[in-house]
Structure 1
Amino acid sequence: MIIRALLLSLALLLPAAAQEAYPSRPVQLIIPYPPGGNTDLMARALQAELSRALGVSVVGVNRGGAAGAIGNAEVARARPDGLTIGVSPNNAITTQPFLQATPYQADGFRYICQFYDNPQVVILGRNAPFSDLRGMIAFARTGKEALVYGAPGQGSTQHILFAQLLRAAGVDGLMVSYTGAGPMAAAALGGTIMAFAESASIPASTGLQALAVLADRRMPGLPEVPTSAELGMPMNGSTYGGLLAPLGLPDAMAAVLERACEAAVASEGFRNAAERLNAGPSFLPGAAFRARFLAEAAVNRTLLQELGLSNR
C-alpha cells in the first residue's frame, strides 16, 4: 500500500515537472520569407544565441509567400505548446491583413519580444542608368514607368515607402513584385530592376550600393551614405520585428521565451552578427512589442484606405 501511494504521488507530480522542464525538445522557428532577405538574415543571426539561451536547438524553417502571410498563418494556427514560434517584421502583421484575406489579425498572436529595428535604405541595382538618388528621380521623369523598381509584394513596407518617395518627387515608376528581399536582391544583382528599398543588411550581404537612408540621421554602419533629408526628400521608414507565438501560449512558457530573447539580443554573438548586417539590435518585452504592432496596425488601416489599397 505504501509503494502504491508513492507511485500515485509521483504520477500526480509528473505534469508539473514536465511543465517546469520547458523547453525539453527543439523549438521550430517559422520564418515567413525566403532565404536571403532581411527577416531571414535577422532570424538566422538570433537563432544560435536563442538556442544557447533556451538550452535546446532552435530550428529555422522558411515559409515564404503572400508577403509573409503564409508563414504567419502557420504560426497562428500552431498548437500553443511553445514548440512552434515565428519571427515577423511589422508589415506582415500591421499591413497585410488590410490588403488580403489573411487568417489572422494583429491581435491574433502571443507577442514574445522585439529584437531588431532597421531603418530602410534605397538600394541601386546593377547596370541602372543612374548612380545616385537625384539621378534616379531625373531618370523617372524621362517617361511614364521608365523607372523599374522592386518591392517584396504589393503594399509591403518597402512598396509603400518607395511609392511615397516617388510621389513626393512628383514622378512614378513600374513596381515589380517579389516574394521577398532575397529574390528581389538577386533581381537587382542581375539588372532586372533598377532600384528598391530595403534594410541596410541587404547591401551589407550583397555588395549592392546604398543611395540614401530613409531617416533623419546617417547610419553608423553606412557613414558615407546620405539621408533622404540631406538630399531634399525627407522621409522616415524602418522595418522592425520580433518573435511571435500562437494565442493560448501559457504565461510560464512565454516568460521563458521572453527571457531567452532578451539574453540573445544582449549577447555579443548577436550584436556582432547584427553589426555585420548594418542592423540594429533593439529589445522590447512582449507587452510593449504587442502595443507597438497594434498601434501601427491602426495607423496603417487608415493610410491604406486613403491610398485606395485597403480591402476593408
Structure 2
Amino acid sequence: MRRFALMLAILFAGPALAQEAYPSRPVQLIIPFPPGGNTDLMARAIQAELTRELGQPVVAVNRGGAAGAIGNSELARARPDGYTIGISPNNAITTQPYLQNAAYNPESFRFLCLVYDNPQVVILARNAPFREFRGMIAHARTGPEALVYGIPGVGSTQHILTAQLLRAAGVSGLNVPFAGAGPIAQAALGGQIMMFIESAAIPAATGLPVIAVLGDRRMPALPDVPSTGELGYPMAGTTYGGLLAPAGLPDNIAETIERACERAVRSEGYRAAAERLNGVPSFLPGNALRDRFLSEARTNQALLRELGIVRE
C-alpha cells in the first residue's frame, strides 16, 4: 500500500514539477527600437549567449517607435512568466514616460540586469560640409538652422546631449526626429542630415566617421578621436541598457534570468561581439540596475522641465 501511495505521489508530482521548470520553451526578447540601432545591435550581440545560458531559444523581436515607448508598453502589458522579456536603454524608461502618454513608468518593470554601458560619440554624415568638430561648430554659426542633425525622438538621450553640447558652444541647429538610430544612420548615409550623437556601435556598423567622444577621455577603441573635454566642452554621455520583465515576475524566475545574464555578459562570445561594435559589456544585478534607472528618472524630470519639453 505504501509503495502504491508513493507511485501515485510521483505520478501527480511529475506534471507539477515540469510546470515549475523555467524555461521550458522559447523566450521572446522585445527590442523597442528598429533594426540597426544601438539597442538592436547590443541585443543581438548577447542573444546567442542568453540562448546558451538559458537552454532555450531567445527570439529577438523588434517593436520600434515612439522613442522606445511602443515596445516597452507591450513588455509592460505582457504576462509576467519569464517568456516575454525586453532589453531597453535608459532613456526609454527614465525619460519617455514624462514626455508622452506612455502606458508604463519605471515601476511597471522588474529589472533583471545591466548588459552594456556605451559611450556616446559625435558622428558625421557621409556628405557633411565639415570634417571635424570645430568645423561643425563654425558651420552652425552661419545660421540658426544651418546645422541639421538627427535625433531618435524628442527627449531622447541623444536629443538632450546634442542640445547640451550646442548650448555649451553657443550655437543651435535644426533637429530631425527619427524612429531610432538605425533610420538616423541611413539618413546620414544618404546625406539627409549632417551629424548625430549615438553610441560608437553605429559607426562601427556603418563606417560613418566619428569626430568626438563625449567625455573627458578618449575611447581605447577610437584612440585618434578627441574627447569633448579636450575640445573645450567638458561633458559626459553614455547610454546603458539591460534586461527587463513585466512587474510581478516571480523571484525564482528573475533570479534564473539574472544568473544567466551575468554569465552571458562575462562570456567571451558576448565580449568579442560587443567589442566589434565598440560596445562596453557591463553587468549589474537587477536591484542595482533598478536603483540606477530610478535615480536617473528623478534627475531627468527636473532636466526636462529646464528644457521646457516635459509633459505636465
* Deviation string, structure 1 residues 99-118 (Cα, Å, up to 9, x no partner): 00111111210000001000
TM-score for both structures, normalised by structure 2:
0.97
Partners of 1:309 and 1:126 in 2: how far apart?
Answer: 31
Secondary structure class of the residue paired with 1:91: helix
Residue 223, structure 1, aligned to residue 223, structure 2: yes
Gaps spanning 5+ residues in structure 2: where?
Answer: none
Give 1:124 shift.
0.4
Q: Residue 201 of structure 1 corresponds to which residue in structure 2? A: 201
Partners of 2:121 and 2:307 in 1: how far apart?
Answer: 23
Give 1:240 shift.
0.1
Secondary structure class of the residue paired with 1:68: helix
* Deviation string, structure 1 residues 37-80 (Cα, Å, up to 9, x no partner): 00000000000000000011000000000000000011111001
Q: Residue 15 of structure 1 corresponds to which residue in structure 2? A: 16
2:177 counterpart letter in structure 1: S
1:18 counterpart letter in structure 2: Q
Q: Residue 43 of structure 1 corresponds to which residue in structure 2? A: 43
Secondary structure class of the residue paired with 2:241: strand
Give 1:234 shift.
1.2
Q: Residue 213 of structure 1 corresponds to which residue in structure 2? A: 213
Q: Residue 271 of structure 2 corresponds to which residue in structure 1? A: 271
Partners of 2:106 and 2:115 in 1: how far apart?
Answer: 18
Q: Residue 184 of structure 2 corresponds to which residue in structure 1? A: 184
Partners of 1:59 and 1:13 in 2: how far apart?
Answer: 28
Residue 75, structure 1, aligned to residue 39, structure 2: no
Q: Residue 101 of structure 1 corresponds to which residue in structure 2? A: 101
The CA RMSD over aligned residues, in Å, is 1.2
* Deviation string, structure 1 residues 110-154 (Cα, Å, up to 9, x no partner): 000001000100000011111111110110010110110000000
Partners of 2:296 and 2:228 in 1: how far apart?
Answer: 23
5 Å-filtered alignment, 1:227-242, equals 227-242=227-242
Partners of 2:95 and 2:111 in 1: how far apart?
Answer: 17
Q: Residue 61 of structure 1 corresponds to which residue in structure 2? A: 61
Q: Give structure 1 regions of 4+ aligned residues with deviation exceeding 4 angstroms.
A: 1-5
Give 1:216 shift.
1.3
Partners of 2:249 and 2:156 in 1: how far apart?
Answer: 29
Count matched residues.
311
Partners of 1:211 and 1:190 in 2: how far apart?
Answer: 19
TM-score for both structures, normalised by structure 1:
0.97
Secondary structure class of the residue paired with 1:121: strand
Partners of 2:110 and 2:12 in 1: how far apart?
Answer: 31
Q: Residue 260 of structure 2 corresponds to which residue in structure 1? A: 260
Partners of 2:132 and 2:107 in 1: how far apart?
Answer: 41
5 Å-filtered alignment, 1:143-158, equals 143-158=143-158
Secondary structure class of the residue paired with 2:142: coil
Q: Residue 121 of structure 1 corresponds to which residue in structure 2? A: 121
* Deviation string, structure 1 residues 208-253 (Cα, Å, up to 9, x no partner): 0001000111111111100001011111010000000011111000
Secondary structure class of the residue paired with 1:107: helix
Secondary structure class of the residue paired with 2:114: strand
1:190 counterpart letter in structure 2: G
Secondary structure class of the residue paired with 1:39: helix
2:229 counterpart letter in structure 1: A
1:155 counterpart letter in structure 2: G
Partners of 1:158 and 1:274 in 2: how far apart?
Answer: 20
Identity %: 69
Secondary structure class of the residue paired with 1:112: strand
Partners of 1:15 and 1:305 in 2: how far apart?
Answer: 52
Q: Residue 290 of structure 2 corresponds to which residue in structure 1? A: 290
Gaps spanning 5+ residues in structure 1: where?
Answer: none
2:139 counterpart letter in structure 1: F
